[in-house]
Amino acid sequence: MPTGQGIDGAPELFTPNRFADQVVLITGAAQGIGLAVANRIAFEGGKLFLVDRAELVGEVADEIAQRSGADIGWATADLETFEGAEAMAQACEDKFGRIDVAINVVGGTIWAKPFEHYAPEEIEKEVTRSLFTTLWSVRAELPRLIDAEGGTIVNVSSVATRGVNRVPYAASKGGVNALTSALALEAAEKNVRVVATAPGGTLAPERKVKRGPGPEGEQEKQWYQAIVDQTIDSSLFKRYGTLDEQAAPIVFLASREASYITGSVLPVAGGDQG
């Protein structure tokens, strides 16, 4: 099972110069999958613009730049609003003059419980976090890719579109899948590819910035454990994936090696198709 090196060094496997002379914007880059993707592309020659709502993204950018020598800019942004997404895209353009590749990672389950236990405001927050962050980001990125006469958008979805105890999150990621396939139809004639991966359960260090409250009480812990159990049972390998195993297919789809792939959502979940 590949482990990768994460923030502490170069990835275990990478392709030098695969992103040479390309500007790559990555959202959700301060932690988890976004950080693993940023680390890999930095060692593959890309110019990076890292975005997160947490100030931690600045520290991450400095650390990756010191180890890889990559040219890296960064910004904090509230991607739950179009204004935040537009400011992010403009900041990248101000730094590098263009966007060649946009990788949208922001999202994640806030609560874990059966649907009948979600309050209306919790449903809205889940959809805002895991659908609108991608929808607004793509809306801000797309005109700039068109102006640059082509580029690539990679969205990060989830196989949890078929999963227990997180229906609002599943619906949101279903929206990301639909966004990807529908926009690919429109954008192809403008030389813009739109693709996605759908990760399964992924091993990662404890988050420095939490997505939301953790399970409290025995009932909430059981609801969350049901997600873990289903995730493992649905994988043919009966395990979670690693950050490196998630980053590798994202980076491939973002690269020019995948130039004839668009509209696809690739499950990366040990055989779980979602």
Pair 151, 99: CB distance under 8 Å: yes
Cα–Cα distance measured from residue 77 to residue 169, given in angstroms and rounded to the nearest whole number: 21
Judge whether 254 lies within some domain: yes
User: pLDDT of 57-104, one tens digit each?
Assistant: 999 999 999 999 999 999 999 999 999 999 999 999 999 999 999 999
Structure tokens at 27: 């959202």
Domain residues for the domain of 259 are: 6-268
Judge whether 1 lies within some domain: no
Strand pairing category for 151-156 and 101-104: parallel
Q: Is the pLDDT of residue 6 over 60?
A: no
Asked about 169 being catalytic, the answer comes back as yes
Helix axes 167-187, 133-147, angle to 10 degrees: 10
Which amino acid does the sequence have at 237?
F
User: pLDDT of 182-223, one tens digit each?
Assistant: 999 999 999 999 999 999 999 998 877 777 787 888 999 999
Catalytic hit among 118, 169, 224, 240: 169
> Per the structure, how many domains does the chain have?
1
Pair 197, 249: CB distance under 8 Å: yes
Instruction: Identify which of 46, 274, 56 has the alpha carbon closest to the alpha carbon of residue 163.
Output: 274
Least-confidence region, from 149-153, 209-213, 265-269: 209-213
Structure tokens at 171: 């619906």
Cα–Cα distance measured from residue 117 to residue 19, given in angstroms and rounded to the nearest whole number: 46
Q: Is the pLDDT of residue 4 over 90?
A: no
Q: What is the mean pLDDT of residues 128-139?
A: 98
Judge whether 273 lies within some domain: no
Judge whether 202 lies within some domain: yes
- 222-245 exposure pattern, b = at least 16 Cβ within 10 A, e = fewer: ebbebbeebbbebbeeeebbbbbb
Residues 6+ apart with CB under 8 A from 111: 118, 122, 126, 166, 212, 213
Judge whether 142 lies within some domain: yes
Cα–Cα distance measured from residue 161 to residue 169, given in angstroms and rounded to the nearest whole number: 8
Judge whether 77 lies within some domain: yes
Judge whether 274 lies within some domain: no
Judge whether 88 lies within some domain: yes
Pair 141, 77: CB distance under 8 Å: no
The CATH code of the domain that includes 140 is 3.40.50.720
